[in-house]
Amino acid sequence: MNRSTPAKPAGARNVDEITGSRRLRRMRKADWSRRLVQENRLSVDDLIWPIFVIDGKNTREPIAAMPGVFRLTLDLAVKEAERAAKLGIPAIATFPNVEMGLRDQTGSHILDPENVINRATRAIKDAVPEIGIITDAALDPFTSHGHDGILRDGIIVNDETVEQVAAAAVIQAASGADIIAPSDMMDGRIGAIRDALDANGFSDVAIMSYATKFASAFYGPYREAVGTAGLLKGDKKTYYIDHANSDEAVREAEQDVAEGADMLMVKPGLPYLDIIRRLKDEFQMPTFAYQVSGEYSMIKAASANGWIDGEKAMLESLLAFKRAGCDGVLTYFAPQVAEMLRG
């Protein structure tokens, strides 16, 4: 043996002996073989597109913290819904930025059938009846303090909030909403909404429960989008779930299933893939994730700085939701992804 010959330990096995000839790289050797054994795929049918609506006409307001996302007047929201339908996106989720003069301590404007969210639903349904519309009955875009419920003496009062959220859900259903997705995290809201919808002839309107909405740092850009960022007094930890807790999240979901939820949602998404997997395994129900504004903006910012490949990161993050067990994802990337998937 010379110095250039590597030493072979006595009794050393070769790779086939070590692996039992199970060479897992075999099916990774070519594009065709990788595609043949790919376990999860992203399709346009997995996408729900959240959009922000405002009063006015022919106005597209950029949201500084969410590059490429805009607040849209209803005429433009209708055009975007038409675009979504042409791309094959199954549903959109609408969120309002309400004029400050219409906000109050109780979020009472949510009960106005002519508020911007209900008018948006009617306008979109009239123009694009084939697309699904998801609305949120939470109060935060309508309150003067930015909380998801009614504030009394510094406390978010649960039962009074539930009554108002349920009443708002009926008004939203009457305006044409196909799915009510209440994000307020009040106890008993799912059952109250189900009872109210059924009692008013909307038994076909589904409920997508924000079953596990965590107290998270990833909501900041959204709060800018709906105009609550500067309003919020305190935090939302008395009703959102502690991000350290997974068993509590399962209990929340179990309660919502018992009360009549048709679908479950995890929010935020990427930091909570473990929760998605637990819910899917536990309940075998349609399960969705909301890739929230902070997740979106991180990818956009890193891409803008040249630190990551934005398109690849976008697709990788969305496929992670599918791998974790999601049936679909609410994502601001929806139209971009749909365009890419269409080719």
Q: Are 172 and 134 in contact (CB under 8 A)?
A: no
Question: pLDDT tens for residues 8-42?
Answer: 666 689 988 988 999 999 999 999 999 999 999 99
Q: Choose the catalytic residue: 8, 79, 125, 213.
A: 213
* pLDDT tens for each residue of 285-338: 999 999 999 999 999 999 999 999 999 999 999 999 999 999 999 999 999 999
The confidence score (pLDDT) of residue 60 equals 97
Share of the chain above pLDDT 90, in %: 90
Is pLDDT at 1 greater than 70 in this prediction?
no
pLDDT (0 to 100) of residue 285: 96
- Using a cut of 0.85, tell me whether the model's pTM lies above it: yes
Instruction: Please tell me the predicted confidence (pLDDT) of residue 229.
Output: 83
Question: Which residue among the candidates 125, 267, 300, 322 is catalytic per the annotation?
Answer: 267
Banded pLDDT at 342 (limits 50, 70, 90)? confident
In this prediction, residue 269 carries a pLDDT of 97
Domain chopping of the chain, boundaries? 41-342
Whole-number pLDDT of residue 311:
97
Mean pLDDT of 269-294: 97
pLDDT range class, residue 134, cuts 50, 70, 90: very high
Q: How confident is the model at residue 2 (pLDDT cuts 50, 70, 90)?
A: low
Is the pLDDT assigned to residue 234 strictly greater than 90?
no
Mark whether 213 is an active-site residue. Answer: yes
88: helix, coil or strand? coil
Which residue do the tokens 């740092």 mark?
Answer: 217
Average pLDDT of the residues of the chain: 95
> Residue 182 is encoded by which pair of tokens?
């209440």
Quick one: pLDDT at residue 10?
63
pLDDT in tens, 167-179: 999 999 999 999 9
For this structure, is 267 an active site residue?
A: yes
Tell me the pLDDT tens digit for each residue of 56-99.
999 999 999 999 999 999 999 999 999 999 999 999 999 999 99
Using alpha carbons, select from 240, 300, 229 the residue that is nearest to residue 272: 240
243 falls in which pLDDT band (50, 70, 90)? very high
Residue 241 is predicted with a pLDDT of 95
In degrees and rounded to multiples of 5, residue 132 shows phi and psi of -80, 145
Long-range contacts of 164-168 (CB under 8 A, 24+ apart): 164/106, 164/107, 164/108, 164/110, 164/111, 164/139, 165/137, 165/138, 165/139, 165/189, 165/192, 165/193, 166/137, 166/192, 166/193, 166/195, 166/196, 167/111, 167/196, 168/110, 168/111, 168/137, 168/139
Over 90: is that where the pLDDT of 4 sits? no
pLDDT of residue 5: 65
pLDDT beyond 80 at 124: yes
The tens digit of pLDDT for each residue in 191-226 reads: 999 999 999 999 999 999 999 999 999 999 999 999
Sign of CA dihedral 332, 338, 339, 340: positive
Examine the pLDDT at 119 and tell me if it is beyond 60: yes
pLDDT at position 343, please? 72
Quote the pLDDT of residue 305. Answer: 97
CATH architecture of 41-342: Alpha-Beta Barrel (3.20)
